């Protein structure tokens, strides 16, 4: 499936009806939101971001050493990744980052779209700013503990689930039990077989998968669950424990956003930290003069927990409020790429970044796409529809199709008039020849009229039946392209497409323009 085999259509996100007003306002650079981010992502804005972002040689050394250690789990590192790991030590190298949970088998399709957006952004920046280097980064959400969100995926309409009793940070989970999922699949998928059968934990397995899929594009996957990286975060941890600063800042931003008509996407806590050990990721709460870890026996005085942070920073895990700050402190990062809800929740965090004097990254909406296979493209064309039509609600689309199909009602009135005219001539002839035959002529005329009326009904019924088949085809097409009534990318898995189209990822690389901010429709020809 080369790009030459694809018809590419770009449409406004707002035209799809699948994105929030917040995103529509952001992409139109509405004045209402301008105080909640730093710069809107354009090629020119990246130039200003390059001048502002600071990252010391010592920080680069720490980052490089941590990544070298983490990539020790990858048997054969692609030269493009090796080059990018080395470049991160250079003062003119910067990153473009996206992040996601460690969904098994990559989870929903938008996981891939995020990474392709990061890769293509780096390519555009490299062309625009040749004196710098740009490295695409996938931030693995290894410390997330919501196993139910990552333990399943959908393939060819069937749900596959990884059953496990493990608890705590999912990146530390053993891959035990995933072999059962592999055995249930309709065929073997070597990339996943290799990763899940030969990795000691889910973090290593996910790194192996992203490396196999995107190593040739130089993608670097980073795991923030690392002691040396966490040392950079100690000042934030200390201030969070003693002043509970981030909660106040986020709540202020939430009030301002709500006054403008926007809803908060994520919710802040008094302390936006978890305590992390094997099998445990518990929320830290302050109770009088002590600090407790919910649902555990851990309890600390203030001096004890501050000492714990100094000695064991790896035991303190930021939640969704502080994770972006941590990320930007340990990476020479220029932009973060996320889905609609992610982009919206970064607007809640600008005050936190300003307070800690960390450069707020450019916030980019990831590319979104609708992929229409050749059979579905043929169905669409037979129904007389354009790709953008498909985003309508099924009932609205049915009305549109009905209007097209019923341009002329089936009527045999003209034929009835012709028959009546012919019988009139026969009646006149009967009057001349044998008036007693006039009644017979009238009887035959009535029979003919009845026959035409019956044929009219049969034709109408046949037409309606044919239309029902058309409506069924429409319903099937909608279900294929919008499974469970939502965007394809939120339901389907990469394997649903790559199995039949091995060049699916290269086709995305060719099609996506990350700074155009248009929804991409890929139609196979």
pTM for the model stands at 0.89
Which pLDDT value is given to residue 1? Answer: 46
For 93, the token pair is 């190298």
Among 131-145, 191-205, 450-464, 474-488, the minimum mean pLDDT is found in 450-464
Instruction: Give the H/E segment covering residue 522.
Output: strand 519-524
The predicted model gives 273-282 an average pLDDT of 96
Token readout for 170 is 């999912």
User: Mind listing the pLDDT tens digit for each residue in 415-436?
Assistant: 889 988 998 998 888 888 888 8
Rg of the Cα atoms in the chain: 31
* Cβ-contact 380, 390 below 8 angstroms: yes
pLDDT, greater one: 465 or 69: 69
Report the distance separating Cα 374 and Cα 387, nearest Å. 13
Q: Check if the beta carbon of residue 505 is closer than 8 Å to that of residue 440.
A: no
| Residue 3 clears pLDDT 70, i.e. is over it | no
Tokens encoding 426: 């026969």
Q: Average pLDDT of 70-76?
A: 95
Which tokens hold the place of 497?
């497409």
User: How much is the mean pLDDT over the chain?
Assistant: 94
Confidence of residue 408 (pLDDT cuts 50, 70, 90): low
Specify whether the CB–CB gap between 223 and 202 falls below 8 A.
no
| Mean of pLDDT values over 311-331 | 98
Q: Dump pLDDT digits (tens) for 345-389.
A: 999 999 999 999 999 999 999 999 999 999 999 999 999 899 899
């Amino acid at each position: 499936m080369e790009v030459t085999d694809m018809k590419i259509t770009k449409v406004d996100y707002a035209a799809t009806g699948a994105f929030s007003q917040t995103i529509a306002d952001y992409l139109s650079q509405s004045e209402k939101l301008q105080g909640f981010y730093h710069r809107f992502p354009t090629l020119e804005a990246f130039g200003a971001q390059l001048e502002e972002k600071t990252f010391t040689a010592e920080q680069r050394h720490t980052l490089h050493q941590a990544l070298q250690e983490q990539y020790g789990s990858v048997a054969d590192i692609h030269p493009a990744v090796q080059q990018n790991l080395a470049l991160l030590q250079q003062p003119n190298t910067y990153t473009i980052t996206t992040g996601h949970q460690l969904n098994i088998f990559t989870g929903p399709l938008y996981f891939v779209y995020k990474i392709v957006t990061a890769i293509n952004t780096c390519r555009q920046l490299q062309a625009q700013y040749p004196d710098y280097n740009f490295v695409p980064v996938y931030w693995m959400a290894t410390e997330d503990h919501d196993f139910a969100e990552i333990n399943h995926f959908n393939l060819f309409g069937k749900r596959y689930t990884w059953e496990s009793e493990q608890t705590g940070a999912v990146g530390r989970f053993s891959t035990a039990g995933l072999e059962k999922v592999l055995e249930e699949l309709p065929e073997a998928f070597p990339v996943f077989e290799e990763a899940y059968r030969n990795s000691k934990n889910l973090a290593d397995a996910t790194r192996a998968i992203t490396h196999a899929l995107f190593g040739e594009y130089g993608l670097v996957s980073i795991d923030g669950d690392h002691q040396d990286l966490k040392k950079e975060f100690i000042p934030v941890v200390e201030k969070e424990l003693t002043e509970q600063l981030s909660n106040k800042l986020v709540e202020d931003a939430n009030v301002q956003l709500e006054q403008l008509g926007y809803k908060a996407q994520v919710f802040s806590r008094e302390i936006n930290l978890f305590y992390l050990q094997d099998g445990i990721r518990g929320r830290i709460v302050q109770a009088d003069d002590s600090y407790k870890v919910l649902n555990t026996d851990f309890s600390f005085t203030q001096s004890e927990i501050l000492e714990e942070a100094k000695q064991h920073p790896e035991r303190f895990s930021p939640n969704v409020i502080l994770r972006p700050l941590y990320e930007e402190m340990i990476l020479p990062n220029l932009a973060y790429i996320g889905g609609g809800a992610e982009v919206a929740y970064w607007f809640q965090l600008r005050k936190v970044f300003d307070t800690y004097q960390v450069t707020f990254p450019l916030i980019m909406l990831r590319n979104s796409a609708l992929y229409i296979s050749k059979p579905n493209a043929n169905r669409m064309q037979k129904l007389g529809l354009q790709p953008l039509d498909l985003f309508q609600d099924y009932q609205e689309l049915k009305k549109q199709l009905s209007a097209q199909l019923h341009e002329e009602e089936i009527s045999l009135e003209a034929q009835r008039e012709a028959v009546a005219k012919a019988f009139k001539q026969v009646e006149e002839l009967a009057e001349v020849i044998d008036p007693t035959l006039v009644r017979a002529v009238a009887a035959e005329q009535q029979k003919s009229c009845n026959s035409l009326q019956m044929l009219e009904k049969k034709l109408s019924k046949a037409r309606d039946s044919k239309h029902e088949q058309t409506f069924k085809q429409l319903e099937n097409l909608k279900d294929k392209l919008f499974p469970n009534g939502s965007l394809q990318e939120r339901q389907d898995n990469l394997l649903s497409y790559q199995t039949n189209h091995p060049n699916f990822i290269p086709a995305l690389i060719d099609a996506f323009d990350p700074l155009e901010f248009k929804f991409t429709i890929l139609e196979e020809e």
